[in-house]
Amino acid sequence: MPRVKIKRKSTTTDMTAMCDVAFLLLTFFILTAKPRQQDPVPVDTPASTVTIKQPEKDIATLVVGSGKVFFDITGANIRIQTLEQMGQRYGVTFTQEEKNKYANLQAVGVPMNQMKQFLSMEPEQREKYTQPGIPADTTNNNELFHWIREARIADKVLDNAEMRISIKGNAKEEYPTIKKVITILQKQKVNKFNLITSLRSAK
Amino acid sequence: MAELDTSSDSGKGGKVRSKKASTRVDLTAMVDLAFLLITFFMLTTTLNKPQAMDLAMPDKDEKQKDNELAVAASRTMTILLGSNDKVEWYVGEPGKSTPTVEGFGKNQIRKSLLDNIQKIKASTGKDMFVIIKPSDKSIYRNMVDILDEMHITNVQSYGIVDISQPEVEELKKQNIY
């Protein structure tokens, strides 16, 4: 009786399909990953144990650092609408190009009378330029007050949603600056807002 | 690579054939790299989303000043935030009980909070109310830290109130202003 010869099988597996899947996923993650937001001032958020994630839509962020306040709105159309309304209030007319530029920016802290000039800068120039922050005081008629108000109106008109306000403050920021921002928010009856924190490692 | 030689070796002379090179490329390393990158992007995208702490401030209506809610002094704990990451706290009305100066941390303010919650629960049967008064010398981190302590110790009712002049004097006395 002849010996049955067992054919030895190769141990290599076909990696092509796996490679395809891996790269497909990789492409997906790279495309969905948002570029890290560059804040106009270094902001080191304080840590907390809260693990509620910040919503993605209908949110405006007040970046507070070095005694200055910067204002960031999510959503390009809300940004454009807010800028238009602010322009009307302060007698500045923006071109479509300027509006689009503003829509692509993030946190901005420039007084309205310098806004046109700021938007006309080249991106590299803008990065080097130190923004003076949005003028804010405790009266009822300051620019920060109107920025927040116009953004809330714009959100209501376009998305029919209540805009949520977040404060992203630097951990070392002195309390009076934060208090000023909170007072401005309370002046327009925004009594509920979020404080952005980083996650504290378990103690 | 880890690959067994599967070519059946007949080993019996004959024509010398030129060995046909396989067109297959070993993709293992490439897949390894791809998965490594996937892991990296997955972790960075989910962890980068900022955490948001909810904060509700008491309604501050300038027209109606007298709608403040009166809370029994016996079940309020007042925390004054001073400089150098120090807090001063007392229970009840100011001046009636000796204030304590403490730092932030597991064995300091958190322990005091938990102690006071129990004491007040035992004596009045109600939950404690915390008043937080940040002074001008405190920093934003202190405020977030103390709100976080509220969250950890599960204090349901607390409020941030402006500090008054006598309390600033008190902080000065304790050298934390």
Residue A131: pLDDT above 70?
Answer: yes
For the stretch B40-64, pLDDT in tens is 888 777 666 677 778 877 776 555 5
Could you tell me if A166 and A43 are in contact, meaning their C-beta atoms sit under 8 angstroms apart?
no
Report the distance separating Cα A130 and Cα A81, nearest Å. Answer: 25
CB pairs A-B closer than 8 Å = 161
Question: Is residue A86 in a domain?
Answer: yes
For the stretch A28-75, pLDDT in tens is 888 887 666 667 777 777 887 777 777 777 888 888 888 888 888 888
Question: Is residue A168 in a domain?
Answer: yes
Which domains are seen in chain B, by residue range?
73-173 (3.30.420)
- Domain count for chain A, please give it: 1
- With beta carbons under 8 A apart, name residues in chain A contacting B161: none
**SS3 call for A181:** helix
Minimum Cα–Cα distance from A176: chain B residue: B136
This prediction has a pTM of 0.73
Q: Inter-chain contact B60–A195, Cβ cutoff 8 Å? A: no
Residue A65 main-chain phi, psi, to 5 deg: -165, 145
For the stretch A185-201, pLDDT in tens is 888 888 888 888 877 76
Residue A203's pLDDT is 46
* A203 part of contact set with chain B, CB < 8 Å: yes
Give the minimum alpha-carbon distance from A161 to chain B in angstroms, rounded to a whole number: 18
For residue A194, what are the domain limits?
A: 47-199
For the stretch B98-135, pLDDT in tens is 788 888 877 888 888 888 888 888 887 788 888 888 88
For the stretch A139-155, pLDDT in tens is 767 888 888 888 888 98
Which residues have a Cβ under 8 Å from the Cβ of A185 and sit 6 or more positions away?
Answer: A148, A165, A191, A193, B57
Q: Nearest to residue B22, comparing CAs of B5, B10, B38, B37? A: B5
Question: Is residue A22 in a domain?
Answer: no
What ipTM goes with this model? 0.73
Question: Is residue A117 in a domain?
Answer: yes
Residue A179's pLDDT is 85
Question: Is residue A112 in a domain?
Answer: yes
